[in-house]
Homo-oligomer: A and B are copies of this chain.
């Protein structure tokens, strides 16, 4: 137990990005700066978290049923093949699917583009009691449009503040946001892209556009550096999750989520009826007789 507590204490401190000095080149995508050092240790620790995660989620969900407003939103960003989907599978898979809202944001449709960039995000937020997972998010809007020059710089530059305002508004409405940047190396991306192309069952995951994006690797790292610098208020920090090794990535996001839920500390809410009286009615004067 002491060992586990140590993980929880430090995982956030170690992975949290300091917006004053963002340097992605200093973060080893293959590192394990905190927590387990092997796949088997990580699997064991992950399995050990499941019951507590499940219980915390149920309590949060119960709160929502009884009128609570709190909810959690896990935002996953990262280059192609960094494992946003895999993280959702392995981390979200630890809890009751009924309390989850999982959303993958694709290239915006024409209809979505006719609204402001936060419009489609607002429509998919977790409702009270839910844990939401976003596979890509509003942060795409300071990445692709910038790198591909789809909008003038004044437009994407204004979005940093708009995002900060939006996230502050979320916090006000009961949403706790957990932002994870899944950090991979270009070498690992290449391996994973090759694997997708070589394996018939994985080819659907590949898109010829992936190579065009890969070619702009350094521009994307710069765009990420800027958003990590400008959108990291103390209340909604980013975490850099080393993601070259899937087992480390899954472990780290699960731990970050566990820590987030522990801080919320949802407990079974006290119902607004009298259980003793209800029980008496049901057992002594069952309305169905």
Interface residues of A (CB under 8 A from B): 62, 65-66, 85, 88-89, 92-93, 96-98, 100, 102, 104, 135, 186, 190, 193-194, 197-198, 200-201, 203-208, 211-212, 214-215, 217, 268-269, 271, 273, 275, 278-279, 281-283, 286-288
- Given A92-B97, A281-B211, A283-B194, also A288-B203 (CB < 8 A): no
Q: Is the CB of A206 within 8 A of B278?
A: yes
Chain B: CB-nearest residue to A98: B88
Q: Kindly list chain B residues whose C-beta atoms are within 8 Å of the C-beta of A203.
A: 268, 271, 275
Q: Is the CB of B288 within 8 A of A214?
A: yes
Q: Kindly list chain B residues whose C-beta atoms are within 8 Å of the C-beta of A286.
A: 190, 214
Q: Is the CB of B275 within 8 A of A211?
A: no
A243 to chain B, nearest CB (A): 17
Q: Is the CB of A282 within 8 A of B197?
A: yes
A240 to chain B, nearest CB (A): 21
Q: Kindly list chain B residues whose C-beta atoms are within 8 Å of the C-beta of A287.
A: 211-212, 214-215
Q: Is the CB of A282 within 8 A of B193?
A: yes
A229 to chain B, nearest CB (A): 24
Name the contact of A97 in the complex, choosing from B62, B89, B194 (C-beta under 8 A). B89
| A-B residue pairs in contact (CB < 8 Å), sample of 20 | A66-B204, A89-B97, A92-B97, A93-B93, A93-B97, A97-B97, A97-B102, A98-B104, A190-B282, A190-B286, A193-B282, A197-B275, A197-B278, A197-B279, A198-B275, A203-B268, A203-B271, A212-B287, A214-B286, A215-B287
A247 to chain B, nearest CB (A): 18
Q: Kindly list chain B residues whose C-beta atoms are within 8 Å of the C-beta of A275.
A: 197-198, 203, 206
Chain B: CB-nearest residue to A269: B204
Q: Kindly list chain B residues whose C-beta atoms are within 8 Å of the C-beta of A215.
A: 287-288
Sorted from nearest, which 5 A-B pairs have the closest CB atoms?
A215-B287, A62-B204, A92-B97, A197-B279, A203-B271
Chain B: CB-nearest residue to A62: B204
Question: How far is it, in angstroms, between the C-alpha of A190 and the C-alpha of B214 when the chains are bound?
Answer: 60
Q: Kindly list chain B residues whose C-beta atoms are within 8 Å of the C-beta of A102.
A: 97-98, 100
- Given A92-B97, A100-B97, A217-B288, also A211-B65 (CB < 8 A): no
Q: Is the CB of B208 within 8 A of A278?
A: yes
